[in-house]
Structure 1
């Protein structure tokens, strides 16, 4: 029990207030006259320190109770949960995560990501000859190809945005670099990281068709966008179209088919009728995408001297040229399907391509070519037709 002398002392908080703080020497001189023994002095100081410790604990417990009460009130009122002023706010963290994910989603150009993934899956299915080929080995080889190709896809579209920041401020101000959400340094870091990961994965897989597909895509994608002497091929409409055709129509079809055929299944390379059809049809489609993508971007291209076909020939003329090319491709696909010896393949390919051709023509007639929003929406519709075609290609037999 504390002595009456200790109980009469002021509390630690009182001793620390006033015109100057109490020091240890002042405290000892005031409390211990000369006649108090050293042993008695130690007992009193010990009791005082104990009281100070208890006082501090009580203050901390009171603070904890106040914070807990605040937490309960906030929870009951639906306010964000926090532990006090400046405390942790899970809502803000979640908002930051969503904002970062949305910016990367736009930076990766999701319509190209979806197109790349679907094309590789579709072409890989052309290598399947019997039901037993659909095995864990197939899915492993498919996953290796898709992931490596998507990494390279992000490098290509990201490099294009880094090279086109000023143009995109006019044509696509919602992109992260054009809007200022990403700095140039952030963009460079992303594209560098994804290109390294793509090559690393292609190398450790050990598939030469896959590695060469990545390497050629890297070269063409770099030459297409980067602003260096003898490069930036997108300034030439013909060369730009040839780059897109080479990647989307030839490399994707041939290289990824050979990856499955030779690396996964260990079979000799062959160029089957469905593979030749897929390459020819997607050549038409790739030219259309290369031409059509510039139609809504005519304003920025004119300002920065990009001599696209749209700038040279006008939006309406290029628009209907694209529609004609696609309708011819659908007509050829119907003919190919009609001569198939497989009944289910004949029915599905003829009806499927006839339906897609009809939808294209019906939608094209209603497009307002004076509206950039309408043209952009139709461009996204063409990408949907692109996706749909890759669902039909495996049915061609």
Structure 2
């Protein structure tokens, strides 16, 4: 067995010692072994004595002195640092070059991202129901095929644009008034999460209001003017926290607000806009319009009550005494379901009384299908899961849209 001689430890003395580094050479015959340690102490036994290998005692045949080793270490270290600095400099140059092509930003976001935030803040997706309801109730005014004229299309388009602007305003003013509540109930909303600033939100809300009023007063149709004015007024009273306003705090006033819009303003005033302004007919409301107003009033009340179910926690903290926070979410949920089923039952009975087979078939079969789907989906909802409740709330608005698809055919 060959012996290995361990030389004396390296001296730090006045030389600059590389941190955590020790280098030594062990010689055995003609073999030369370089040993490096990173201040690791290890105990070994040689004969009857213990020694610490980390201290490397008594190197007798050192072929490489400490200064040379240190210089080699620092040479390698500085070469690595120069290479790393060069790479970082290249990356910085590339980033600076790329930044020249960044598109304009609004509120710290790119133009595309800003449009997405505005879309979600204004709840543009809710316009589907608004557009469908206005077109549908306008079609109810058509009595014969010759009534389809360019004047009719222009008049409906005016009503759709005005109603859409009012819808955007109501959605925006409601979020501006509910920032603190939404931070608890719906922190994902753009205004509550800080994705859009309050200043920008106010500008958008004012823009929707100004454009809506300008359009309304530029059209010589008193039903449309009155409808848009009431839409803006009710939406403001429902949300804004001012004396005698903030109607959403009171369950009765909240339900009345939604009912006045969905049950009266849209089905009656926008229908009269088609009757008087487009066709120049006398002011007359048919039994079909009253039926639509009645069934949509029930939808409106259900929407007003159901909307507060997932917001109970935030409403209690902010002093909003909704019906759901008073009697419980389960009670309000099933109250809404039975109200809608009652509306479908009423529609089926009226449909059965019609003397026209095709009207009777559409009203009976259509509302039976809607009632069945509603009951099936309601029994699948987990009332302890707010996401499930919110999803079902959106499903109710789909049923609302489906009802308006039937409206042009409700001529019993």
- On whether the aligned pair clears a TM of 0.5, the verdict is yes
1:88 aligns with 2:97: no
Contact 2:132 2:404 in 1 (8 A): yes
1:222-237 correspondence to structure 2 within 5 Å: 222-237=236-251
Q: Does the aligned pair in 1 maintain the 2:132–2:401 contact within 8 Å?
A: yes
Aligned residues: 316
Task: Tell me the residue number matched to 2:4.
Answer: none
Structure 2 alignment gaps of length 5 or more: 1-93
User: In structure 2, what is the equivalent of residue 113 of structure 1?
Assistant: 127
Distance 1:216 1:269 in 2: 19
TM-score normalised by structure 1 residue count = 0.77
Q: Deviations over 1:237-294 (max 9, x none)?
A: 1111001100111011110001010001101121112111100000111000000000
- 1:96 is displaced (CA, Å) by 2.2
Aligned partner of 1:98 among 77, 91, 112: 112
Deviations 1:70-97 (A, max 9, x none): xxxxxxxxxxx9994543246999x823
Which residue number in structure 1 is paired with residue 347 of structure 2? 333
SS at match of 1:305: coil
Q: Is the CA contact 1:82–1:88 (under 8 Å) kept in the aligned structure 2?
A: no
Determine the C-alpha separation between the residues in 1 that align with 2:263 and 2:281: 23
Paired with 2:98 and 2:118, the residues of 1 have a C-alpha distance of 32
2:235 to 209, 221, 226: 221
RMSD: 1.9
Q: 2: distance between equivalents of 1:232 and 1:276? A: 29
> Are residue 379 (structure 1) and residue 356 (structure 2) matched?
no
Which structure 1 residue ranges, 5 or more long, are not aligned?
1-80
Instruction: Give deviations 1:8-55, integer Å, cap 9, x for gaps.
Output: xxxxxxxxxxxxxxxxxxxxxxxxxxxxxxxxxxxxxxxxxxxxxxxx
Partner of 2:217: 203
Q: TM-score, normalised by structure 2?
A: 0.74
Q: Following the alignment from structure 2 to structure 1, what is the Cα–Cα distance between the partners of residues 348 and 256?
A: 26
Worse-matched range after superposition: 81-90 or 173-182: 81-90
2:362 alignment partner in structure 1: 348
Report deviation, 1:348.
1.0
Matches within 5 A, 1:117-136: 117-136=131-150
1:280 alignment partner in structure 2:
294
Aligned counterparts of 1:86 and 1:96: Cα–Cα separation in 2 = 12
Greater Cα offset, 247-256 or 168-177:
168-177
> Are 1:166 and 2:180 counterparts?
yes
| Residues 210 and 89 of structure 1, relative CA distance in 2, 3 Å threshold | same
Give the match for residue 86 of structure 2. none
1:313 maps to what in 2? 327
* C-alpha distance 130-232 of structure 1, shift in aligned 2 (>3 A): same
Q: Secondary structure at the match of 2:310?
A: coil
Contact in 1 for aligned 2:103/2:111 (Cα 8 Å): no
2:177 touches 2:240 (CA, 8 Å); kept in 1?
yes
Distance 1:85 1:385 in 2: 49
Instruction: List aligned pairs for 1:380-395, cutoff 5 A.
Output: 380-395=394-409
Shift of 1:126: 0.7
2: CA distance, partners of 1:157 / 1:91: 27
- SS of 2:280's partner is coil
Mapped to 2, the partners of 1:115 and 1:143 lie a distance apart of 15
CA distance in 1, matches of 2:105, 2:235: 38
Determine if the alignment matches structure 1 residue 143 to structure 2 residue 157: yes
Once residues 98 and 162 of structure 2 are traced to their aligned partners in structure 1, the CA distance between those partners, rounded to angstroms, is 46
- With over 3 angstroms needed to count, the CA separation of the structure-2 counterparts of 1:181 and 1:323, relative to structure 1, is same
Distance 1:202 1:273 in 2: 28
Q: Which has the higher helix share?
A: 1
Structure 2 CA distance for aligned equivalents of residues 297 and 142 of structure 1: 36
Structure with greater Cα Rg: 2
1:229–1:139 CA distance, 2 compared to 1 (3 A): same
Higher RCO structure, 1 or 2 (CA under 8 Å, sep 6+): 1
Structure 1 or 2: larger strand share? 2
CA separation in 2, counterparts of 1:233 and 1:115?
Answer: 23
| 1:332-374 CA-partner distances (Å, limit 9, x unpaired) | 0111111122221111111111000000000001111001111
* CA distance in structure 2 between the partners assigned to 1:152 and 1:90 by the alignment: 31
* CA displacement, residues 310-339 of structure 1 (integer Å, 9 cap, x when unaligned): 000100000000000000000001111111
